[in-house]
Amino acid sequence: MYDMTIQLRTDAGKRLYEQIYEHIRQEIREGKLLAGERLPSTRYLAEYLQVSRSTVDCAYDQLLSEGYIEARPYRGYFVCSLEDMLDIRMEESGSVPASPRQGDEEGALREEGKAQENCSRDAEEGLWQSVCGRKGRADCLYDFSPNGIDMSAFPFGVWKRITRDILNDANGELLSQGEPQGDYDLRLTISRYLHSSRGVNCSPEQILVGAGNDYLLMLLEKLLGKGKRIVMENPTYKRAYRIFHSFDYEIVTVDTDAGGMLVSGLQETRADAVYVMPSHQFPTGAVMPIGRRTELLRWANQVPDRYVIEDDYDSEFRYRGKPIPSLQASDQGGRVIYIGTFSKAIAPAIRVSYMVLPQELLERYLRCCFFYSCTVSRIDQRILNEFIGRGYFERHLNKMRKRYHAKHDLLLECLKPFETAFSLSGEDAGLHILLRARGNATEEELLGAAAKRGVKVYGLSESLVKTPGSEHGTVLLGFGALNEREIEAGAALLQEAWL
């Protein structure tokens, strides 16, 4: 076992667990810790470093989440195999965003895939609605929608004050059309936020501001071109699936497991692009480990004009450890298109999303799509920019993270009686968790029994592109829009229904 000498500093502005996590990560990256090597037990390391055991637990959890280490039952923690790793760097928060040129050199490895997977396009007609509040609740007592978010804490007062200030200072310029990519000030603010919170390396010039992810994907279609073949995770975010389907893109799916997309399945797809949610897969909640991320980026670099669309839709809400770094942070070849939104973190009504283009696509945008005018009003852009710039966004995020954390913990507590009959996954992040029947109960049976008691839960199959026909029904329980009383009451009814 390797000698763990870590210089812990209490004045470093970093918490102890972060220092431990970063030290071990660094050792792994530099090859000082080799694949297969066993880490000291948490108890041993805690004693050695004179810190609490939970501090070491936190550090190991983070390394686990990001795929640097793995836990083997009864044996301990071992370093994962990363021999194919690209030079993964997570920029330190607070430093200057990199110039867009940085990602310009691409490994132009060409390799043609071998097989061609045909995709079964399901022609679902059913309405898959984002249910927040009223609509969903009207026909049931408790709606565990995975898309529900808590809007009771929206800072109306602040929003109103900022709006008033902006309209007071306004002149004709504010009413004019503005830059197609979005106001520079807002893009600068977003680039700084993404850098410090998600490790995204970009300049404001690379950012497109748009009214929702759907619109940004439509714009992306103009950049990628027609008739492309795109890989999606199965299950995946069905709205995105429908959008790519409406582009007439050929959609190929690759299955997922606890580490997200089974990236090894990409080779034979010969696809032009892949749509992934590596930091928090919807709906499984999986975090893609570092090894797969590396493999994914390598695949993207194999042929020119192949891209990874990273949808980082709710990375703000993580209740354990540090946020998982974005895939874009590791992208050296300019292959990652990063998409994010303020819909979850503030409110869907805000209608502001952003897309970070790698250099090549940015040039294509400036050449071919410069004339599409920005879909977000300048007044709204200015309000959002002030909201972030004056520190309200961070405060709001912290508040929401606490609220959601409390609801998350409460729901887990309420679900304890379910543990013998169900396995639980997707916890520790996001706004929903998954329950999978250990027995033969089908999804339909579970949904039906819940509905009879006035509880709406959501089936995993709604997110499936290809149905694998699992006999174990799996349901999603979203907790964002419910308050504590509703979570308890809803869970009690589910207990009646299922146990």
Planar angle of CA 148, 150, 151, nearest 5 degrees:
115
Strands 432-437 and 474-478: antiparallel
Report how far apart, in Å, the C-alpha atoms of 406 and of each of 132, 282, 479, 484 are.
Answer: 19, 21, 10, 9
Name the minimum Å distance from CB 317 to its own copies: 17
Q: How far is the CB of 185 from its own copies (least distance, A)?
A: 15
Closest CB 173 distance from its own copies, rounded Å = 5
> Least Å distance between CB 200 and its own copies?
24
86 versus 369: smaller Cβ distance to its own copies: 369
Binding region for its own copies (CB under 8 A): 125, 127-128, 130, 132-134, 151-152, 154, 156, 159-160, 163-164, 167-168, 170-178, 211-212, 214-215, 218, 222, 226, 239, 242-243, 246, 248, 343, 347-351, 367-380
Task: Note whether 449 and 463 are within 8 A (CB).
Answer: no
CA–CA gap between residue 10 and residue 264 (Å, rounded): 42
Q: Which of 227, 223, 232 is CA-nearest to residue 266?
A: 232
- Candidates 103, 105, 107, 65; CA nearest to 328 is 103
Closer CB to its own copies, 221 or 445, in the complex: 221
Kindly report the three-state secondary structure assignment for every residue of the chain.
CCCCCCCCCCCCCCCHHHHHHHHHHHHHHCCCCCCCCECCCHHHHHHHHCCCHHHHHHHHHHHHHCCCEEEECCCEEEECCCCCCCCCCCCCCCCCCCCHHHHCCCCCCCCCCCCCCCCCCCCCCCCCCCCCCHHHHHCCCEECCCCCCCCCCCCHHHHHHHHHHHHHHCCHHHHCCCCCCCCHHHHHHHHHHHHHHHCCCCCHHHEEEECCHHHHHHHHHHHHCCCCEEEEEECCCHHHHHHHHHCCCEEEEEEEECCEECHHHHHHHCCCEEEECCCCCCCCCCCCCHHHHHHHHHHHHHCCCCEEEEECCCCCCECCCCCCCCCHHHCCCCCEEEEEECCCCCCHHHCCEEEECCHHHHHHHHHHCCCCCCCCCHHHHHHHHHHHHCCHHHHHHHHHHHHHHHHHHHHHHHCHHHCCCEEEECCCECCEEEEEECCCCCHHHHHHHHHHCCEECEEHHHHCCCCCCCCCCEEEEECCCCCHHHHHHHHHHHHHHHC
CB of 461 to its own copies, least distance (A): 17
Among residues 89 and 222, whose Cβ is nearest to its own copies? 222
Question: What's the CA angle centered on 61, arms 426 and 396, to 5 degrees?
Answer: 65
> Closest separation between CB of residue 333 and its own copies, Å?
27
Q: How far is the CB of 279 from its own copies (least distance, A)?
A: 22
Q: Measured from the CB atom, is 115 or 123 closer to its own copies?
A: 123
Distance CA 477, CA 160 (A): 33
Specify the residue, 239 or 320, whose C-beta has the smaller distance to its own copies. Answer: 239
Between 363 and 419, CB nearer to its own copies: 363
Minimum CB separation of residue 232 from its own copies in Å reads 15
Q: Give min distance, CB of 385 to its own copies, in A.
A: 14
Nearer to its own copies, 154 or 193 (CB): 154
Shortest Cβ 149–its own copies spacing (Å): 8
Q: Which is nearer to its own copies, 59 or 355 (CB)?
A: 355
Q: Which is nearer to its own copies, 48 or 372 (CB)?
A: 372
Shortest Å, Cβ 239 to its own copies: 5
Tracing tokens 């389907």 back to the chain, one arrives at 245
Nearer to its own copies, 115 or 127 (CB): 127
Q: Smallest gap, in angstroms, from Cβ of residue 292 to its own copies?
A: 29
Least separation, in Å, of the C-beta of 207 and its own copies?
Answer: 17
Task: Record the tokens describing residue 113, joined without a space.
Answer: 């895939």
